[in-house]
Amino acid sequence: MTKWSAGFMVFVMALASCSSAKDGESSSKEDLIAKELLQGVWLDDETEIPLMRIDGDTIFYIDPQNLPVYFKIVRDTIYVHGNTPTTYKIDRQTEYSLWFHNLSEEIVKLHKSNNPEDTLAFSNQETEFVPTVPEIVQKDSVVVYKGTRYRGYVYINPSQMKVIKTSYSEEGISIDNVYYDNVIHICVYEGKNLLYGKDITKKMFASVFPEEELGQSILADMNFMGVDRKGYHYEATLRIPESSVYHLVSLTIDADKQLHVEMVE
């Protein structure tokens, strides 16, 4: 199993949980009484730590990096419409108690808070976006091919393009974090003569990545690899944020200054 495919087992599990119950959500009416019972702050039974606050049809999590998500209750199932739609089967629900199966089929037991101070944990509902690089990073390398010196530059630029990554909390709940992606400028010079220059974004790799995998990755790094008869060569790193899951992509600029991309095995 590759580093990339291992990291997306979580995505597949969540997707399967969703698809198996889609028909149930669409064919039945929402239980508004059950939704009303969920309003308020919910604590973990064992730790007494606030886990989530429910306001209307939205779930807010205690971590400000976690996106709020829309939800519905149909029969005995909670349908959460996050980046990866997920379902949780309810085992028990009263005004002050909620038990449900997480994505690992373990029972999560929560109780509603009666302490107004617990709402302070959710006082800042603005989602925090995580930059993957704090400032512009510049790299350059010199190579010699057939007696000619070439210098390749890389500029990794933070952007405002958002990447939503789905992961699991300690309680086995699907959560979404938001990160800022990068735009990487590459250019090749012979002396002071610019031979090639282009801004690279991860969208340019759509032909070699499945859409759902590309959507949760960031363009993390780029290196100038050299020059040969086929052209100028760079290697990009696409990474799942805050994980060891990554993949390499080869970029080749040919004699006609056309860019070609392919996965690195």
Q: Identify whether residues 118 and 141 lie together within a single domain.
A: no
Q: CB–CB of 202/210 below 8 Å?
A: no
The whole domain housing 19 covers 3-122
Q: Identify whether residues 93 and 147 lie together within a single domain.
A: no
Q: Identify whether residues 110 and 173 lie together within a single domain.
A: no
Q: Identify whether residues 136 and 113 lie together within a single domain.
A: no
Q: Identify whether residues 184 and 106 lie together within a single domain.
A: no
CATH code, domain with 10: 2.40.128
Rounded CA gap, 185 and 246, in Å?
20
Q: Identify whether residues 89 and 136 lie together within a single domain.
A: no
Q: Identify whether residues 110 and 41 lie together within a single domain.
A: yes
**pTM over 0.85, yes/no:** no
Q: Identify whether residues 192 and 82 lie together within a single domain.
A: no
Q: What is the pLDDT of residue 9?
A: 39
Q: CB–CB of 103/14 below 8 Å?
A: yes
Q: Identify whether residues 138 and 257 lie together within a single domain.
A: yes
Q: Identify whether residues 14 and 88 lie together within a single domain.
A: yes
Q: Which of 71, 104, 122 is the last residue of a domain?
A: 122
Q: What is the pLDDT of residue 125?
A: 61
Rounded CA gap, 162 and 83, in Å?
12
Q: What is the pLDDT of residue 8?
A: 40
- Radius of gyration (Cα) for the chain, nearest Å? 24
Number of structural domains found in the chain? 2
Q: What is the pLDDT of residue 45?
A: 95
Q: What is the pLDDT of residue 124?
A: 63
Q: Identify whether residues 111 and 139 lie together within a single domain.
A: no
Which DSSP category does 18 fall into? H
CATH code, domain with 253: 2.40.128.510
Q: What is the pLDDT of residue 6?
A: 39
- The amino acid present at 233, given as its one-letter code, is H
Q: CB–CB of 118/126 below 8 Å?
A: no
3-state helix vs strand vs coil in the chain, percent to 5: 15, 50, 30
Q: CB–CB of 171/44 below 8 Å?
A: yes
Q: Which of 68, 90, 122 is the last residue of a domain?
A: 122
Over residues 6-21, the pLDDT tens digits come to: 344 344 344 444 444 5
Q: Identify whether residues 108 and 46 lie together within a single domain.
A: yes
- The amino acid present at 162, given as its one-letter code, is K
DSSP per residue, 27-76: HS---HHHHHHT-EEEEETTT--EEEEEETTEEEESSTTBPPEEEEEETT
Q: What is the pLDDT of residue 265?
A: 76
What are the distances in angstroms from CA 35 to CA 77, 99, 176, 214? 11, 14, 22, 34
CA angle at residue 168 from 163 to 173, to 5 degrees? Answer: 115
Q: What is the pLDDT of residue 22?
A: 54
**Low-confidence residues of the chain: pLDDT under 50:** 1-20
Q: Which of 90, 122, 154 is the last residue of a domain?
A: 122
